[in-house]
Amino acid sequence: MKRYSAMALLRAGLTGQRGWERAWRDPEPKPHYEVIVIGGGGHGLSTAYYLAKVHGVRSVAVLERGWIGGGNTGRNTTIVRSNYRQKPLHDLFDFALGLWEGMSDALNYNVMFSPRGALFLGHSDADMTQLAQRGDALRCSGIDAELMTPDAVHRLVPLLDMSPDARFPIHGGLIQRRGGTARHDAVAWGYARAADAQGVDVIQNCEVTGLVMAGGRVTGVETTRGTIGAGRVGICVAGNSGPVAAMAGLKLPIEAQTLQAFVTEPVKPMIDTVVMSQSLHCYISQSDKGGIVLGGDPDQFPSYAQRGLPIRLEKAAAEAIALVPALSRLRMVRCWSGTTDMSFDGSPIISALPVDGLYLNGGWCYGGFKATPGSGWCYAHLLATGESHPLAAPFSFDRFATGATIDEAGVGFMPQLR
Amino acid sequence: MTAPRRIADGATDSLRFTFDGRAMTARPGDTLAAALLANGVSLVARSFKYHRPRGIMAAGVEEPNALVTVGEGGRTEPNTRATDVFVYDGLVARSQNAWPSLNFDMGAMNGMLARFLPAGFYYKTFFGPASRWMLYERFIRRAAGLGKAPVDRDPDHFEHRAAFCDVLVVGGGPAGIQVARDAAASGGRVILVEQDALLGGSALRDGIAVPDPVQAGVRMMLRTTASGNWDHGFVTLVERIAEPGQQPPAGMPAQRLWHVRAKRIVLATGAIERPLTFAGNDRPGVMLASAVRAYIRRHGVLAGQRVVIATNNDDAYRTADAAREAGGTVVAILDSRPEPPAAEHPTFADAVPLAAHGGRGGVTAITARVGATTRRFDADVVAMSGGFTPVVHLHSQAGGTLGWREDIQAFVPEGGPEWIESVGSAVGEVEPIAPASAELPDPKHSFIDFQNDVAASDVDLAWREGYRSVEHLKRYTTLGMATDQGKTSNMAGLARLATSAGVTIPQAGLTTFRPPYTPLTLGAMAGADGGGHAAPRRRIALHDVHEARAALWQPLGLWHRPRAYPQIGETLHDAALREARAVRTIAGLTDVSTLAKFAVHGPDAARLLEMVCATGIAKLAVGRGRYTFMLREDGMVLDDGTVWRLDENGYLLTSSTGGADRMEAHLSYVHRVLAPTLRVSVVAQQEHYAGIALAGPRAAAILADLTGIEPPAHMGLARAKVAGVPALILAASYSGERAFELYAAGHDAAPIWGAIEDKVRAAGGFPYGLEALEFLRIEKGHVVIGAEADGRTTPHDLGLERMLRKAGGFVGAQALARPALAAPDRRRLVGLVSSEQIPEGAMLVANHGATVEGHVTSAGPRLLESGGAALALLAGGMAREGETLLATSPTRDRHVRVTVTAPVFHDPDGARYRD
Amino acid sequence: MMLIDCPYCGERAQAEFTYERTLDSIVSLDMPVEEVLARLFSRANPRGEDRELWRHTFGCRQWLVLRRHRRTHAIAAVDPYAPDDPE
């Protein structure tokens, strides 16, 4: 792998940018791999990278139906944080956050992780108590969390409507300063390039159409580019887990649902921090390019259409303007939809499945992007050793049957209520 | 170069506007772009990355270059296309993304460094710790962005409207008008929308009159853009009532967002002309041929005296004709085809533009390959035409598929939902072209995406580095991701990619089209729901009564309830303490109107309630009530409340305020889906009745005094008049004192409140709010939905298991059997006491740094003694009774030693409920 | 925003309706625990048609069964919910 650096860029500038090599190869599938990862999103690619890098498993293929990073990796709001209330969640996501902090260097690819702070606003004393509780749980786990007064919030985000009679008055906030944003596409590309350099085959335009079973065990996959054998097969296709699991005759505690987000035309810096809300499903950040990225409510019914309800976007705009009135004249330039893998307790599944040799990483609901490196790390551990990584052990497939669910929102098993 | 100019036609300028402070004049009907050209302005903007000087390229919404900031204060609209704002008197426009000025822009330094800043350069550098990246990022962020967002609140309002029609025609050009008139003639309700201020579309630039659709019965909406095409004939339109930055007429919104449901949608969205790719094709003065013609014919503006046409199709010849008619000189027509049509202009066959020359002010000459020679032509304007791309955005948004047309080198609508059809140039009825030549001597300065400064060399680099999927190309180079979303650049990008790949354009693929067609203000999206209306405020029936008593309000979901009634100089906490102590020692009254209430009637009412409630119902005697709770199907506590048997077959069920809608749906689900044969009716009555709770040692006496009846025993009920108003009286207590809830029709309830308040105050008591209620219920150990019952707790976790109906048969009974729900280390309800206030939400640990074993769910003061009390969920629950723990809140720096007790601190035997 | 042809009210915008669950995840109170858990906590989740229980919550409040394609959003049928509906 030709290393990227400022010097390399300067040298290339003098030679017409001719010297760069392909970021990743375009290999033909081999007949057999030790591990096949189905799904070339950030999670699948990071899994492959850590399989090779951490566990020395280099006979790995990532099979991607279309182009890498084309699913939810490229359809989110790029927010990275770990400040969940429930311990199994914040432990997993904070491990991921630690990996985010060194990701650009580790991959030699600038993923533009920018810890500009992830701020939750509280709109009542009750909100503030909830935020304090969350912050206390985090601090007791050694994770940074800081309550902010309304004044401090105002200094950080001067365009917020701080008036006491605002529809959602701002009573303060909880900030995770290590949280922030990253460049989503770069995460897929960076992992693909680094995994490729470790010998992993990243195979695009290769759709898995069936599983090869022998003696009750998965021994490979059927694809649009032929049959490929494998020691272990890891499903990593959040947003499409149901149809892939169905190839093994499995039904999952997962339902697909649409979540939309949108971005405005670029403007000069106006919001420097990721702004979210304790009681609204509204999140606001500004990209490096200058667009204000906004997200809102999921569509609350099952869908794979990647086409959402306009009224959800309109509500998100209304809430965003209520919080930041100056957004009124900015213009949405593009909206997009992801198909979220809504699990039945709101938490992911990183687990062996009831079919030998088959594993699942999915159910990330609308929070998978921020977990990318931690998800890949834990899934690689599972695929390499057959044992769950301790951080991923609570996220088992059987927790719904046993009752050990991890329900951050406390709303139960109906995904549309989440 | 010679500046553009207005063609003498006798009309006069009557509008004043400014650009960068310079006062200018315009004519009604001028776009800002037309007016700027007429005033001789050719440098209008700077590009995003290299800050290259840019002028006006197009005459419509596809304009990539001429972005300006329009308006002042809260009406400021950055990034407004000068081609898509009509000049009004007093318009203020400013250039953007240039410092210190448009003419001398320091940002242009980036252009000199362009060789070091190719597509995606930022992925290859700025390594080191995140803090270092953030340092670089600060500069990148400042350099990025285009215009400046307003700071002030928007002074205008926006609104949403709905419309229904048989046929929605999008596009008021000749094809759209024809379809609309025909549809109206056959009797349908027809809406025709046109984004421009005039009908005519392409006919406007050709000076052709179009028939009047309104006279044919069509509802016409001008200045209205179909921005999104969603499911099942649902289209969002945005109607501009005021131009960007313009004050709307009094009482009118600035813009309206329309939700239209159409049985049939006809897309007559036209086609957009493509630029040609050659060095310097982004210079001011290099324009689309159709735009040059539109400025002449529609606005009477000749963009430059000496005109060179560069084309691969016949349409641009009309521009040559128009330029000559307007008094311009057609220097040359450079036609890439070997056999151009006959024309009365100097025409060169097999002629391909190579480079446009000039400076900041614009183009002065163009070099072209003509046959085997290279020739240079002087020019003030270069009118280029690379053919026309049908506008398929709306077709594609709704799931329509596309097919490739070799003769026009463009995609056209193919399959799709049956209610959508495209007509006219949107289906490819445009001039055939000669495919673009691949010769490009200077790919670094041959721009493809003008606004984002993506040159042909960037596309080539992305290809070499393996970003070969069209989506990767787009995301790596940012091609097509500017505010124009690639309207003029996508096809050229694809063509370049296909050339590199050695494949055809359809093999190279196409990126997806997503709403909106043109950028849409968030204000219009939000409509009247922006700002203060983003969520409704629900007011309780006695809102004004509490307001008159200077209540502090507390939001609870959408409801607003009194939190306390502070006296002058009193803090919230002190007021709540005073109020709560009055309840403990004398009496108080509070508003409980928002509790969910369901009237359940019918011979099978008890059977339905026994399915919904996890506690015994059937044995409840007429005239009695009891506490109950309901489970989700997964066994977790869903809600709680009380159930009252009003008569043989009639029950009243109450449950939590916040869960009212959820409980309504749940009752309906259980009844209509699980047990539809039950003979029972359920009526949700949350808002029908106002509820007033009277509580305290003197409550029974006050009630007797007011009603003249013997107050019902605890958990009994009665009916009586208070202040002449009939009320249902339920002897229920939340506070732990003898108490009564009085329910009366909402609009009649104020006299009841008044009468009770008089008696309470006379006895030395007070009205009390939610804060005091919270203190009282914590001391009594009542759990609350959302605090203790947080959606993760079972009845066992909350100490309610003894109330569960052993026989089961209620929702949630089966899932309670799951093994992990019986794990000994589950967090279960306990009480905590301390000599000081316990921080609500704090974590419970043995000592600092130890593992978290639980958390404080609610905390309050002891009311009649010192210290604090709290409810908590603690691993192991009451098995830990007597242990000392630390309630720690690092975020608030409060750490309090607590002792684990039973979760009831006041009158554990319920003695105070008895008279 | 789909258009749902409520058998009681006629064609209405999707915003008036709420999705409840798939027909095969309805759990009666007399089912054995294993079946309850299987029905509550797993879904076919097809990239095609499924039978879904919806409610016209902001309309007639009736329960409806939609046969709906989850990729195209085409609705093949809307029927009143009937308890003996075969799954």
CATH number at residue A212: 3.50.50.60
Same domain as B762, residue B865: no
Residue A21 lies in a domain: no
pLDDT at B5: 83
Q: Distance between CA atoms of B871 and B875, rounded to whole angstroms?
A: 13
State the ipTM, two decimals: 0.98
pLDDT digits (tens, 9 = 90+) for A293-327: 999 889 999 999 999 999 999 999 999 999 999 99
pLDDT over threshold 60, residue B461: yes
Q: Residue B132 is inside which H or E element, if any?
A: helix B130-143
C62 lies in some domain:
yes
Cβ atoms of residues B236 and B227 within 8 Å? yes
Residue in chain B lying closest to C54 (CA)? B669
Could you tell me if B87 and B12 lie in one domain? yes
Domain boundary among B116, B142, B164: B116
Query: The tokens 């939809």 sit on which residue?
Result: A337
Sheet holding B347-348, edge to edge: B286-288, B381-385, B306-311, B329-335, B347-348
CATH label of the domain that carries residue B364: 3.50.50.60
Structural domain boundaries enclosing B703: 538-594+688-776
State whether A239 and A364 are in the same domain.
yes
Within-domain flag for B473: no
What is each CA distance from B855 to A87, A130, B131, B233, B779, in whole angstroms? Answer: 12, 12, 35, 51, 17
Residue B713, pLDDT above cutoff 60: yes
Residue C83: the pLDDT is 78
Same domain, B630 and B705: no
- Chain A residues with CB under 8 Å of B123 CB are 4, 109-110, 183, 186, 189-190
Ramachandran quadrant class, B448 (left: phi over 0; alpha: psi -120 to 50; beta: rest): alpha
Res B422 pLDDT > 90: yes
Residue ending a domain, among A341, A365, A387, is A341
Angle between helices A42-53 and A184-197 (to 10 degrees): 30
At B846 the pLDDT is 97
- B35 and B103 assigned to the same domain: yes
Residue-wise pLDDT tens digits, A172-205: 999 999 999 999 999 999 999 999 999 999 999 9
Residue with tokens 């063509």: B495
Of chain B, the percentage scoring pLDDT greater than 70 comes to 99
Token pair of B652 as six digits: 């009243």
Distance between CA atoms of residues B518 and B194, nearest Å: 13
Q: Is A42 in a helix, a strand, or coil? A: helix
Mean pLDDT of chain B: 95
pLDDT for B190 beyond 70: yes
Asked if pLDDT for residue A413 goes beyond 60, the answer is yes
Q: What is the mean pLDDT of residues B396-423?
A: 96
Which DSSP state fits A280?
A: S
Domain count, chain A: 2
pLDDT over threshold 90, residue B275:
yes
In a domain, A99, yes or no: yes
Q: Give the closest-approach CA distance of B791 to chain C in angstroms.
A: 17
CATH number at residue B569: 3.30.1360.120
Domain end among A299, A322, A341: A341
B236: contact with A, CB 8 A cutoff: yes
Count of structural domains within chain B? 5
| pLDDT (mean) for B789-796 | 97
The DSSP secondary-structure symbol of B822 reads G
Q: Which domain-ending residue is among A285, A313, A341?
A: A341
The yes-or-no verdict on residue A365 having pLDDT over 80 is yes
Whether the predicted pLDDT of B803 surpasses 80: yes
Residue B3: what pLDDT? 66
Say yes or no: A126 and A63 in one domain: no
Of the residues B168, B229, B231, B598, the best mutation for testing chain C's interface (the one with the most C CB atoms within 10 Å of its CB) is B231
pLDDT band, residue B33 (cuts 50/70/90): very high
- Tell whether B521 is covered by a domain: no
In a domain, C69, yes or no: yes
Q: Is residue C72 domain-resident?
A: yes
Q: With a cut of 60, say whether residue B599 has pLDDT above it.
A: yes
φ and ψ at residue B68, rounded to 5 degrees: -135, 165
User: For chain A, how far is it from start to end, CA to CA, in angstroms?
Assistant: 43
Same domain, A51 and A164: no
CA dihedral A329, A334, A338, A342 (to 10 degrees): 10
Considering only CB atoms, which residues of chain C are within 8 Å of chain B? 1-3, 13-14, 18, 20, 26-33, 36-37, 40, 53, 55, 57, 61-63, 72-73, 81, 83
Q: Which helix (H) or strand (E) holds B264?
A: strand B255-267
Number of domains in chain C: 1
User: Residue B254's pLDDT is what?
Assistant: 98
Which residues make beta-bridge pairs with C43?
A: A252
Min distance B208 CA to chain A CA atoms (Å) = 33
Over residues A278-282, the mean pLDDT reads 87
- CB of B461 within 8 Å of a chain A CB? The answer is yes
Q: Is B649 helix (H, G, I), strand (E, B) or coil?
A: coil
Domain assignment of residue C86, yes or no = no
Of B684, B707, B731, which closes a domain? B684
Question: What CATH code is carried by the domain that includes residue A148?
Answer: 3.30.9.10
What is the band of B108 on the pLDDT scale with cuts at 50, 70, 90?
Answer: confident
Q: Give φ, ψ of B374 to 5 degrees.
A: -110, 130
What residue numbers bound the domain in which C41 lies? 3-80
Q: Taking 70 as the threshold, does the pLDDT of residue A396 lie above it?
A: yes
Residues of chain C with pLDDT under 70: 84-87
Evaluate whether residue C54 is within a structural domain. yes
Do A279 and A363 have their domain in common? no
Residue C15 lies in a domain: yes
Q: Is residue C10 part of a domain?
A: yes
- Given this model, what pLDDT does residue B511 score? 80
Q: Does the beta-carbon distance from B534 to A318 stay under 8 Å?
A: yes
Domain of residue B828, CATH code: 2.40.30.110
A370 and A267: one domain?
no
Q: Cα B649 from chain centroid?
A: 47
Tokens at B95, concatenated: 């250039």
Is the pLDDT score of B110 beyond 90?
A: no
Q: What is the pLDDT of residue C86?
A: 45
Q: Is the pLDDT of residue B279 over 50?
A: yes
pLDDT at residue B340 is higher than 60: yes
Each residue of B535-560: pLDDT tens digit? 889 999 999 999 999 999 999 889 99
Q: Determine, for residues C1 and B234 on separate chains, whether the beta-carbon distance falls below 8 Å.
A: yes
E-assigned strand segments in A14-157: 32-38, 60-63, 79-80, 118-122, 146-148
Does residue B289 belong to any structural domain of this protein? yes
Q: Across residues B475-486, what is the average pLDDT?
A: 95
Question: Smallest Cβ distance to C46: which of A243, A301, A400?
Answer: A243
Mean pLDDT score across all residues of chain A: 96
- In a domain, residue A9? The reply is no
Does residue B534 sit at the A interface (CB-CB below 8 Å)?
yes
Q: What is the mean pLDDT of residues B253-281?
A: 97
Asked if residue A276 is part of any domain, the answer here is yes
Cβ-contact C57, C16 below 8 angstroms? yes
B840/A329 Cβ within 8 A:
no
Q: Sorting pLDDT into bands at 50, 70 and 90, what band is B508?
A: confident
pLDDT tier at A287, thresholds 50, 70, 90: very high
Q: Tell me if B239 is assigned to some domain.
A: no
What is the chain C residue with the closest CA to A255?
Answer: C45
Q: Is residue A1 part of a domain?
A: no
Answer whether residue C85 is part of any domain: no
**To the nearest 10°, the Cα dihedral for B843, B846, B850, B851?**
-60
Residue at which a domain ends, from B684, B718, B746: B684
Distance CA B290, CA B67 (A): 19
Residue B106's pLDDT is 87
Q: Tens digit of pLDDT for each residue in A125-163?
A: 999 999 999 999 999 999 999 999 999 999 999 999 999
B722 has a pLDDT exceeding 90: yes
List, in sequence order, every beta strand (DSSP E) within B633-716. 637-647, 650-655, 681-684, 689-695
d(CA A247, CA A250): 7
Question: What does the pLDDT average to over B718-739?
Answer: 97
B306 within domain boundaries: yes
Do A352 and A390 lie in one domain? The reply is yes
| A305 contacts in chain C (CB < 8 Å) | 70-73
pLDDT digits (tens, 9 = 90+) for A18-60: 889 999 999 999 999 999 999 999 999 999 999 999 999 999 9
Is residue A280 domain-resident? Answer: yes
A128 in the same domain as A100: no
Per-residue pLDDT band at B9 (split at 50, 70, 90): confident
Tell me which residue range forms the domain holding A160.
118-178+256-341
Contact state of B228 with A310 under an 8 Å Cβ cutoff:
yes
C72: domain CATH number?
3.30.2270.10
Torsion angle of C-alpha atoms B328, B332, B333, B338, degrees rounded to 10:
160
- Within this chain, do residues B581 and B604 fall inside the same structural domain, yes or no? no
Q: Is residue A19 in some structural domain? A: no
* Position B203 pLDDT exceeds 90: yes
Q: Binning pLDDT at 50, 70 and 90, where does residue B509 land?
A: confident
Among A residues 336-365, those touching chain C with beta carbons less than 8 Å apart: 344
Angle among Cα A26, A28, A29 to the nearest 5 degrees reads: 120
Does residue A402 share a domain with residue A269? no
**What pLDDT is attached to residue B363?**
96
Same domain, A279 and A160: yes
Closest Cα of chain C to B647: distance in Å?
27
The arithmetic mean of pLDDT across residues B230-239, rounded, is 97
The confidence score (pLDDT) of residue B2 equals 61
Q: What angle do CA B513, B517, B518 make, to 5 degrees?
A: 135
Residues A104 and A205 in one domain: yes
Taking only the tens place, the pLDDT of each residue in A92-111 is: 999 999 999 999 999 999 99
- Nearest CA distance, A228 vs chain B (angstrom): 24
Express each pLDDT in C20-39 by its tens digit.
999 999 999 999 999 999 99
Contact B676 C55 (CB under 8 A): no
Which pLDDT value is given to residue B132?
Answer: 87
Q: Flag the least confident range among A18-22, A349-353, B363-367.
A: A18-22
Give residue C87's pLDDT. 47
Same domain, B278 and B371: yes
Least Cα distance to B230 among B191, B255, B260 occurs for B260
A6 falls within a domain: no
